[in-house]
Amino acid sequence: MHARLDYFGNSVGGKALKHLNSANKVVSDSTLPGTTQELVKIRASQINGCGFCTDMHTKDAAHAGETRQRLDLVAAWREATVFTDAERAALELTEQGTRIADAAGGVTDEAWANATHHFDEDQLVALISLIAVINAYNRINIINRQPAGDYRPGQFG
């Protein structure tokens, strides 16, 4: 499989990614826990079917010390006992925020209220922003058919 074009090497693509990367940096520098950030990126990427991002974020999470068991259970987090209540709230918000088109009401008040019990306002803003950013990355890679499997942790700095 080959990418449809060299999005990363294209000057317009590079400029667009520069802005997405800047938004992602704001989130990564926030007080939203890094483990939660990786779980959110993995789950949104799984839902969207983005192999490139799923490969990247599972490898980055493992490199940062995430356990194989938790990584294997992200897709089935509702039935898994290995996630904290805060992580579960973030994963629910991620699913609902990623599947907006599938739900007439968007994100439910219940999911939002649950998230507010675990995260402060800055963390909630970071979480919303992260969900938006990873969905943008997923769409770029899916539309471009970016191949998955060769990512190395830290490859993009």
Task: List per-residue pLDDT tens for the chain, 157 residues long.
Answer: 799 999 989 999 999 999 999 999 999 999 999 999 999 999 999 999 999 999 999 999 999 999 999 999 999 999 999 999 999 999 999 999 999 988 767 899 999 999 999 999 999 999 999 999 999 999 999 999 999 999 999 888 7
* Superfamily (CATH) of domain 32-143: AhpD-like (1.20.1290.10)
- CB < 8 Å & 24+ apart, contacts of 69-77: 70/39, 71/42, 74/39, 74/42, 74/43, 74/46, 75/43, 75/46, 77/39, 77/43
One-letter amino acid at 124 equals: L
Using a cut of 0.85, tell me whether the model's pTM lies above it: yes
